[in-house]
A = this chain, B = another copy of it.
Amino acid sequence: MPDNAQQFASDNYSGICPEAWAAMAEANQGHQRAYGDDEWTARAADHFRRLFETDCEVFFAFNGTAANSLALASLCQSYHSVICSETAHVETDECGAPEFFSNGSKLLLANTDNGKLTPQAIREIALKRQDIHYPKPRVVTLTQATEVGTVYRPEEVRAISQICKELNLNLHMDGARFSNACAFLGCSPAELTWKAGVDVLCFGGTKNGMAVGEAIVFFNKDLAEDFDYRCKQAGQLASKMRYLSAPWVGILQDDAWLKYANHANRCAQLLAELVTDVPGVSLMFPVEANGVFLQLSEPAIAALTARGWRFYTFIGAGGARFMCSWDTDEARVRQLAADIREVMSA
């Protein structure tokens, strides 16, 4: 089972979903104006404005690292700092991209509760140093859903945005799995973002069925000033932009984004349910989005790997992350669960 066994390693191991592919195929007709002056890009931006029920500014970047870094750089200067979770992707997996794009902004790591920042943790970090010998806090970034598969409730986001306002901090949301968060909560994208005080959202497409491409959505339009220049200078303006924007039209127009996020979340729930009674297995975090973090035994992990399953184990001894995707096969979920049961009882 060479290929399918990789299904739980990462949601970016999956391919392009039919709706995104069809839109690309449709866009691949004749000549189109370059650099975003095409029809597809205008349509995609309109879809975002409809989805978020507000006149937001929308930009497209090639990947999440760039989207997050450009957004953060637009929210602070090099001598400012960004408060994030100690497990935030911007801290742990972007190779210093936020520091690079901002020319030096420091990330300040806050403790979290199930991967989620709290107003209290933000306040402590923000007020810890207030002298010019240390970068001045200027931004808070949340990951929604978090890197450990949990989801901020609208009221949690609101509480954070209130502390941000109080402390003069901008609020950014890394939404690499924003779709999964919306699907889990069943609430509208607007409720989870600008209505809760988010200034800028990076909305991930790659992990939900696109080839490349993230959308940067500014609800606070003042902060978007000259952001098009920023993207261009940083190598994030596609000449044939239609191939970045058309897939968005594809997954937004009939809500495929939500359908697939629901599917991935359901697969994660299923996996959790199927192993929850296995002796020795425990959930490391509540299963809310599309990831399942299991505490297993080390021999069990080795045995699963020997059976060909691929998954990440960066969470510490005995921890295993299983990610579900838009195209995860439920039969494979059941097979994985059966294998977990077997190896744990071996």
Contact = CB atoms under 8 A, between A and B. Distances in A.
Interface of A: 3-4, 6-7, 9-10, 12-16, 21, 24, 27-35, 61-66, 69-70, 77-81, 92-97, 99-101, 103-106, 132-136, 206-207, 211-212, 226, 228-230, 232-240, 243-244, 325
A172 to B, nearest CB: 16
A206 B240 contact: yes
B234 A235 contact: yes
Contacts of A96: 78-79, 81, 104-106, 135, 233
A31 B7 contact: yes
Contacts of A106: 96, 99
Given A3-B30, A13-B34, A212-B212, A134 B235 contact: no
Binding site of A, secondary structure by majority: helix, strand, loop or mixed?
loop
B132 A229 contact: yes
A26 to B, nearest CB: 11
21 contacts: A3-B29, A3-B31, A3-B32, A13-B34, A15-B28, A15-B32, A24-B211, A31-B325, A35-B132, A62-B212, A63-B237, A65-B232, A77-B226, A79-B95, A79-B96, A79-B229, A79-B230, A92-B134, A94-B133, A95-B133, A234-B234
B132 A237 contact: yes
Contact of A32 (B6, B77, B94): B6
A29 B15 contact: yes
Contacts of A133: 35, 92-95, 232
A12 B234 contact: no
A207 B239 CA distance: 9
Among the interface residues A78, A81, A94, A97, which one has the most CB atoms of the partner chain B within 10 A? Answer: A78
Given A95-B134, A226-B136, A31 B16 contact: no
B235 A97 contact: yes
Given A16-B240, A64-B239, 5 more contacts: A12-B239, A15-B28, A63-B238, A79-B233, A234-B235
A230 B103 contact: no
B31 A15 contact: yes
A237 to B, nearest CB: 7
A111 to B, nearest CB: 15
B212 A243 contact: yes
A242 to B, nearest CB: 8
A61 to B, nearest CB: 7
